Amino acid sequence: MPGKSYYFWKDSFRREALWFRPLIAVLFGIFFLRLAQLQLVRGAEYHRLAESNRLQRFSIPAPRGRIFDRNGEKLAGTRPSYSLYISPEGLESGQIREIADKIEELTGRKAEKILSRFYSPRRLPFGVAVLASHLTLDEILILEENFHYLPRVFIDVDPVRDYPYADVFSHITGYTGQISPEELERLRKFGYRHRDRIGKSGAEMVFDSLLRGRDGYREVEVGASGRHRREMRTVEPVPGDDILLSIDRDLQLAAAEAMEGKTGTVLAMDPSTGEILLWISSPGFDPGTFTVPRSSLEYLELFEDPRHPLFNRPIQGQYPPGSVFKLVTAAAALETGVPSSREYKCEGEITVGHDRRVFRCWRDSRHGKIDIKEALADSCNVYFYLLGLELGPGIINTAAREMGFGKRGQDIFPGEKTGILPDPGWKRAHIGGGWNPGDSVNMSVGQGFILSTPFQVLRMTSMIASGGIFMRPSMLKLVVNPDGKLSESHTPTIEGSSGISPGTLDVLRRGMEMSVESGTARFLYSPVSAGAKTGTAQNPLGDDHAWFATYAPADKPEIAIVVMVEHGGYGAVAALPVARRILMEKFGDRIHAKAD
Amino acid sequence: MRKQIEIKVLIYSAILCLWGVMAVISTTAGTPGYSGLYLKQLIAVLAGAGLLLFLRFFPYKVLQELSPVFYIVSVALLAAVLITGVEVHGGRRWLALGYFYFQPVEAAKAAVIIFTAYILEKRGGSALPALPLIAVAALVLAQPDTGSVMPLIPVYGAMLALSRADTRWMGPAVIALLTAGLVLLLESYLQISADTVLRVRYLMFFLAFTGIAVFLFSEARRLNRTLRWRSFTLLALLIWAAAGTGAAAAHSLRPYQQRRVVAFLVPDMDPLGAGYNTRQSLLAVGSGRITGKGLFGGTQTQLGFLPVRHTDFIFASVAEELGFIGAAGLLTVFFLLLSQFAKIIERTEDYGGRLIGTGIFTLFLTQTAMNIGVTLGLLPVIGIQLPLVSYGGTGTVIFLGLTGIMLNINKRTEVIGG
């Protein structure tokens, strides 16, 4: 042993080896601290994360509530739809191709389409994929017979929305669709979730919170590979409420039949309650289109249809009201002190203003000397031209507002238009130029710049029929809980009364009744007494719009109806028969009663 | 004293081995196909105990003299595994021996330690003793099994540092390695995140740091004239070169490799990708909280979220099922065992014995620290066993054998030291 260097080395070695224990102390100190940080400080947070790692929630959709008419006839419900699923676990890579080919061979559904669904990233829990949806009964039968060729394939049932009357009730029920990002943003706080189905229009939208119910879920413990599954707990869904609407299915069906092929609106309301009895916007659409996936071509057809089936005409269509507006002019005159016995002589036409414009009556044979009721009954233009010249736009507008024009008339459906009530200020701002006497003449018979929605005309008719009361328009009658209990029922509420005096309204009603007895509406042949006003509105887009407003029975009105046929021609010809069909449906049995 | 140390070492290693068997039972119980593993582990523990007792009495000096033979055999086995090894997960690491699989790299680690000690004592110098390590590293990297050779680098460094060889170069070398590693990490992160702000900031930091270093050095030099500008400049150049190398290496990595490097820095960045393992491990450890979820009750462990839970992530499983109490307890046993090892080295006066002891101690410490560091998210994912605890027959037998050598060194301390 070399003495000196040995000791030098020994000492240096000792010195360096003495670092070992401090070194492990520091290293293990770090580990202890880190362990404490993870387990003691952040333990709760990691515990929560580990729980969500292991537990997956699978939503169980709540059955959507059904929609019925006032007599309990189903307008929208749920029906089973069968889809073909595959649980691809344990399937070899080439097998899916074979399966797809086999399905094509059996059902004719394209293998490429099936494969693209299989490979789409949107998978259900456990990697399950939908191969084909909305299977027909034939397809189900042939697939089930051949299941031994289709490993890991199964058929399952999902509820889909079903509308038994296709397009008849389309604007009443509306339709459902997948929730949009904007809707989700707005509704998240009410419990709506990504991929929910939600009402997009009509009652489906307005009463969505009643209809949707509350989704349940299954909580499943799932291992990393997906092989381990254990049901932890199930929260059953709460089905949505059923709702009864004030709509009368039979009236709606009758009206729809009468409107077949026509474009326009039919509305009816109970004047004593404000309940809406029918609501047709023609053409309609099949709400089921949005339930069952269709080809994009079919959607395109619907959206691009020049007759705009998705357009809710009763509140979104704005038309010149034509002669039905004469009721407003008459009311304006009577309210400003013009006596109901005031007579004008109809010579078939009048000449107005410096430019000597000629305005004609609709009847070439002249009405001669008539009073206001006769003028309403036979819809004499000249009489109202002269009244309009006398009153001017201000007075007419005031009466029009009292009778519901120029503002929204309901709070059931959104998107309502207000129409236009023109006055000199409006004309200057929108058209230019001053107010001519000719503008007053036009306005007196609902022509010119004035626009109104069919719903406004309905409200006016209903108000006249009820003696000056505006009932709040309503469509929801009853809400029934899933366990069959009544949870809510609608009580008619008065929204307000019009400023028109009862005496004036009596005159208007008399004029309308005379119209049915012997005037322009004499072909109504109503089974019960009725009052009516026809209208034929010229418009720059084509043939005249046909209007017809009526209420019946005359002594105690139970229904107010407005029919509006776009480019239908004479109101008495195109619109009247639709109203007559509704009256027959509603009051037809009273003919026999009378005969007895 | 000697006796006390021996008894403690025996107790601690026995606790670790039995705890390991228990952990293997818990981590494999729910996994079909893994059911018999704990039995294999138990057999390995018993075999290792036999080897421990044998080496406890077999003079390590003789072992050291025989080490060239061991070394050659283990290199031959490593070569054999490359040719006839069992391929698992894209790497050839095992030799099939009937019921058992033999992992030559574990034996090679032991052979490298003893053979390096042999060369250091016989020949000295710092280049020649590195040859055993280099040859083994080349063969292991070809498997490829980077994780297994990594601990040998600090093992070699520690043995060299405590040897008689000239080790003045080691300080700068460690600085250069750390710099290169750090820059590699940072550059990889920047490559992935494309964070220009951070890039500018760290370049500025680097420049500012150099400036401060220059200032401090000139101040120090005013006080002590013997400090040489030349050596300082050389050191600075070395650091810059290392940083450049690190950056170049980061840029030559493929994106997925960069992502893997970065994943441990920010495991949440890519929860299902490269960071998945770290994230699942952290969830397991953290969710164990104070008392754990109970043996067989760990959801991360039992439902398969925790990857390779019976080997590389066994500590996370212990932390999940037994909580802070269990995990801290296991850490304490490791700490106590390593303390006894350090005591043995301190008390040994035989040069070869100290070298071998240092090698064994460093191997134990490095593997333990790397495994637990990975589990606790302090290190990037490196596949490495937790000594004596992880499932793995060869590793368990070898580590028990190395413990036996430690005891043999311990036995001879006072005899040699006088």
CATH number, domain containing residue A331: 3.40.710.10
Res B49 pLDDT > 90: yes
What H or E segment, with its residue span, contains residue A269?
strand A264-269
For the ranges A8-17, A250-259, B43-52, B253-262, the lowest mean pLDDT is seen at A8-17
What single string gives the DSSP state of each residue in B236-293? Answer: HHHHHHHHHHHHHHHHHS-HHHHHHHHHTTSGGGSTTTTTHHHHHHHHHHHHTTTT-S
* CATH number of domain containing A93: 3.90.1310.10
pLDDT of residue A3: 40
Q: How confident is the model at residue B148 (pLDDT cuts 50, 70, 90)?
A: confident
Q: How many domains is chain A built from?
A: 2
Q: How confident is the model at residue B391 (pLDDT cuts 50, 70, 90)?
A: very high
Q: How many CB atoms neighbour CB A525 within 10 A? A: 12
Which token pair is A546? 């046909």
Distance of CA B182 to the CA centre of its chain: 19
Residues facing residue A264 across a β-bridge: A282, A565
Whole-angstrom CA distances from A557 to A112, A268, A430, A528, B269 are 62, 12, 40, 10, 72
Query: What is the rounded distance in angstroms from the CA atom of residue A208 to the CA atom of residue A201?
Result: 10
Residue with the bigger pLDDT between B25 and A114: it is: B25
pLDDT of residue A52: 86
Kindly state whether residue A176 falls inside one of the protein's structural domains: yes
One domain, residues A257 and A174: no
One domain, residues A264 and A206: no
pLDDT of residue A11: 54
Res B221 pLDDT > 90: no
pLDDT of residue A323: 94
Kindly state whether residue A19 falls inside one of the protein's structural domains: no
Query: Which residues from B are below 8 Å from A50, CB to CB?
Result: 283-284, 286-287, 299-300, 305
Is the Cβ pair B339, A35 closer than 8 Å? Answer: no
- Location of structure tokens 């000594």: B387
One domain, residues A241 and A254: no
pLDDT of residue A174: 93
Query: Which residues from B are below 8 Å from A223, CB to CB?
Result: 303-305
Query: What is the rounded distance in angstroms from the CA atom of residue A547 to the CA atom of residue A573?
Result: 10
Of all residues in chain B, what percent carry a pLDDT higher than 70? 94
The three-class DSSP label of residue A266 is strand
> What residue ranges do the domains of chain B occupy?
2-150+266-417, 175-259
Residue with the bigger pLDDT between B35 and B413: it is: B35
Is the Cβ pair A49, B283 closer than 8 Å? Answer: yes
Res B52 pLDDT > 60: yes
What H or E segment, with its residue span, contains residue B156?
helix B152-161
Q: How confident is the model at residue B414 (pLDDT cuts 50, 70, 90)?
A: low
pTM above 0.80, yes or no: no
Q: Which of A28, A40, A54 sits opposite B299 (nearest CB)?
A: A54
Q: Which of B328, B338, B345 sits opposite A32 (nearest CB)?
A: B328
Best mutation target among A14, A18, A20 (most B Cβ atoms within 10 Å) is: A20
CB A302 within 8 A of CB A285: yes
Kindly state whether residue A35 falls inside one of the protein's structural domains: no
One domain, residues A421 and A362: yes
Kindly state whether residue A521 falls inside one of the protein's structural domains: yes
Three state DSSP letters for A397-442: HHHHHHCCCCCCCCCCCCCCCCCECCCHHHHHHHCCCCCCHHHHHH
Query: Which residues from A are below 8 Å from B338, CB to CB?
Result: 24
One domain, residues A214 and A180: yes
pLDDT of residue B54: 97
Query: Which residues from A are below 8 Å from B161, CB to CB?
Result: 16
Whole-angstrom CA distances from A451 to A39, A51, A290, A434, B241 are 73, 63, 33, 19, 84
For the ranges A556-570, B122-136, B353-367, the lowest mean pLDDT is seen at B122-136
Res B417 pLDDT > 70: no
User: Which of A82, A70, A66, A96 minimizes the C-alpha distance to A163?
Assistant: A66
Residue of B nearest to A55 (CA): B299
pLDDT of residue A493: 92
Query: What is the rounded distance in angstroms from the CA atom of residue B298 to the CA atom of residue B313?
Result: 13
**What is the residue range of A553's domain?**
249-287+315-590
What single string gives the DSSP state of each residue in A131-172? Answer: EE-S--HHHHHHHHHTGGGSTTEEEEEEEEEE-TTTTTTHHH
Average pLDDT, chain B: 87
Query: Which residues from A are below 8 Å from B324, CB to CB?
Result: 35-36, 39-40
pLDDT averaged per 10 residues, chain A (length 596): 44 68 95 96 93 83 92 91 81 81 88 83 70 87 87 83 91 90 88 84 93 88 74 88 95 95 95 96 88 67 81 94 96 93 90 87 84 93 93 94 93 93 93 90 94 96 95 94 86 91 95 94 92 93 94 95 94 93 92 58
Is the Cβ pair A35, B289 closer than 8 Å? Answer: no
Query: What is the rounded distance in angstroms from the CA atom of residue A113 to the CA atom of residue A100?
Result: 9
CB A328 within 8 A of CB A467: no
- What count of Cα atoms within 13 Å lies in the side-chain half-sphere of residue B93? 19
One domain, residues A240 and A321: no
One domain, residues A107 and A128: yes
Chain A residues within 8 Å of chain B (Cβ atoms): 9-10, 13-14, 16-18, 20-21, 23-25, 27-28, 30-32, 34-36, 38-40, 42-47, 49-51, 53-54, 221-225, 228
Residue with the bigger pLDDT between B184 and B369: it is: B369
Q: A137: Cβ–Cβ under 8 A, 6 or more apart, which residues?
A: none
Is the Cβ pair B345, A17 closer than 8 Å? Answer: yes
Question: Which of A228, A245, A262 marks a domain boundary?
Answer: A245
What H or E segment, with its residue span, contains residue B179?
helix B170-193
One domain, residues A401 and A463: yes
